[in-house]
Amino acid sequence: MAEIDSLFEILVKKGGSDLHLAEGQPPKIRIHGEIHPIANEILTKDKMQKMMVEICEKSRWQRFLHIGDMDFAYSYKDVARFRANYHMQSFGYGCIFRTIPSRILTLEELGVPVILKKFANFRSGLVLITGPTGSGKSTTLAAIIDFINTNQKKKILTIEEPIEFVHPNKQSVIVQREVGIDTHAFSDALESSTRMDLDVILVGEMRDQETIALALTAAEMGTLVFGTLHTNSAAKTIDRIIDSFPADQQGQVRVMLANSLRGVVSQLLLKTKDGNGRLPANEILLEAPGLANLIREGKIAQIEGIIQQGKLAGMQFMDDQLYELVTSGKVSGIDAYMKSKEKSRFEQMAK
């Protein structure tokens, strides 16, 4: 048993989402969005190095020392899996472990809108799940992939860094590739995917121009592509994709995106009012008449009108769902105020 496993045991027992370790600090865990120390011990360089080396392959440790940053997954017995991030910080070593649920939750169990099942039934195109770090994007994506895996006979490829949720083959055939181990980069895996006879591709992170371009091409060629971005609204997501390209390429990218975009889901996580959990809040944009023209013409600001008109079809603004969560007593007014776009709407609730 690795020495660090005793800290994972505390994390699991207390229902925490993250374990934070940093040289010069006591170990801490995040529970329902708030960070709490779990011991008085100050972690020294030797202690940190011993714990970090113990659960890391030798080649990866050498790579971390060279680069100063690394992501991988670690399993604690059969109890839980964790997404690990090793990094150097101003006081020395640091690492964070994000809990990966041992079971892939269904979309119903996650509490996300049922309309997300519609994304699983698209035959081709691009679907984007967006939100800040820790907003549950990976968990929501895993639930969508599991829904496809359970109900459809497809060939699915996931490209992740690291692999978080392990998907057993059900009705579908699933291939999972880890960046840094099975492939050099997201773009390399996407480039070779054209020879794999795929129906669905999950791109764990669309972090650079080449990856975005390849994902758009795959979506245009008839594959259903799911990707993630760190944006907090549908309009900003579309802007981010277009702005990642040089000005002389943006016209072509707008055309590709207009042809392939099937939907955008932006997600936030909020602490429940009773403090015993967290709830997702989502903004949803679906393919609709007029959307492709707005993207082609660069009229991104008008996309809010598409969402407004599409409420009966399942579209919704983030602020509308935040308002609903407050009025139904599920989250506090102050938390909704902090996450909202139009603050004035929530000022009285925050008080």
- What's the pLDDT tens digit per position in 35-63? 999 999 999 999 999 999 999 989 889 99
Same domain, 137 and 217: yes
Same domain, 168 and 258: yes
What pLDDT, on the 0 to 100 scale, is given for residue 2? 83
In the predicted model, what is the mean pLDDT of the chain?
94
Which residue(s) pair with 179 in the sheet? 183
The set of long-range contacts for 83-91, using a CB threshold of 8 Å and a minimum separation of 24, is 83/162, 83/164, 84/55, 84/162, 86/52, 86/56, 89/22, 89/23, 91/22, 91/23, 91/24, 91/25
When pLDDT is averaged across residues 6-21 and rounded to a whole number, the result is: 93
> In sequence order, what are the residues at sequence separation of 6 or more whose Cβ sits closer than 8 angstroms to the Cβ of residue 268?
131, 132, 135, 232, 280, 281, 282, 318, 339
Q: Model confidence over 298-331: pLDDT tens digits? A: 999 999 999 999 999 999 999 999 999 999 999 9
**Of 174 and 205, which is predicted with more confidence?**
174
- Of 84, 100, 116, which residue sits at a domain end? 100
Same domain, 72 and 208: no
Among 180, 205, 186, 203, CA closest to 72 = 180
In a domain, 273, yes or no: yes
When pLDDT is averaged across residues 108-123 and rounded to a whole number, the result is: 94
**Of 152 and 32, which is predicted with more confidence?**
152
When pLDDT is averaged across residues 176-190 and rounded to a whole number, the result is: 92
Cα separation, 215 vs 118, whole angstroms = 20
Q: Which of 66-80, 188-202, 219-233, 285-299 has the lowest mean pLDDT?
A: 66-80
> In sequence order, what are the residues at sequence separation of 6 or more whose Cβ sits closer than 8 angstroms to the Cβ of residue 327?
none
**DSSP H helical segments within 38-95, as ranges?**
45-54, 58-67
- Torsion angle of alpha carbons 228, 234, 236, 241, nearest 10°? 50
In a domain, 334, yes or no: no
Sheet architecture: strand order including 155-160: 173-178, 155-160, 200-203, 224-229, 125-130, 261-271, 278-286
Does pLDDT of 77 surpass 90? no
When pLDDT is averaged across residues 234-259 and rounded to a whole number, the result is: 96
Cα separation, 79 vs 77, whole angstroms = 5
Same domain, 80 and 126: no
In a domain, 327, yes or no: no
Same domain, 91 and 114: no
Same domain, 298 and 160: yes
- Of 77, 100, 123, which residue sits at a domain end? 100
Is residue 100 classed as helix, strand or coil in its secondary structure?
A: strand
Does pLDDT of 351 surpass 80? no
Q: Which domain holds residue 286?
A: 107-316
Does pLDDT of 85 surpass 90? yes
Is residue 194 classed as helix, strand or coil in its secondary structure?
A: helix
Does pLDDT of 183 surpass 90? yes
In a domain, 112, yes or no: yes
Q: Where are the beta strands (DSSP E) in the chain?
A: 18-22, 28-31, 34-37, 69-76, 80-89, 92-100, 125-130, 155-160, 173-178, 200-203, 224-229, 261-271, 278-286
Same domain, 81 and 150: no
Same domain, 70 and 214: no
What pLDDT, on the 0 to 100 scale, is given for residue 27? 97
- State the pTM of this model: 0.88
Same domain, 197 and 222: yes
What pLDDT, on the 0 to 100 scale, is given for residue 134? 86
In a domain, 53, yes or no: yes
What pLDDT, on the 0 to 100 scale, is given for residue 26? 96
What pLDDT, on the 0 to 100 scale, is given for residue 107? 94
Same domain, 118 and 234: yes
What's the CATH code of the domain at 212? Answer: 3.40.50.300
When pLDDT is averaged across residues 16-40 and rounded to a whole number, the result is: 94
Structural domain count, the chain: 2
Q: Quick check: bond before 26 cis, omega within 30?
A: no
Distance, first Cα to last Cα, the chain: 49
Same domain, 224 and 122: yes
Does pLDDT of 348 surpass 90? no
Residues of the chain above pLDDT 90, percent: 86
- Of 100, 115, 133, which residue sits at a domain end? 100
In a domain, 70, yes or no: yes
In a domain, 44, yes or no: yes
When pLDDT is averaged across residues 147-151 and rounded to a whole number, the result is: 97
What pLDDT, on the 0 to 100 scale, is given for residue 276? 83
When pLDDT is averaged across residues 213-225 and rounded to a whole number, the result is: 96
What's the CATH code of the domain at 54? Answer: 3.30.450.90
What pLDDT, on the 0 to 100 scale, is given for residue 32? 86
What pLDDT, on the 0 to 100 scale, is given for residue 277? 86
Cα separation, 95 vs 60, whole angstroms = 14
In a domain, 222, yes or no: yes
What pLDDT, on the 0 to 100 scale, is given for residue 304? 93
**Of 134 and 172, which is predicted with more confidence?**
172
Same domain, 90 and 141: no
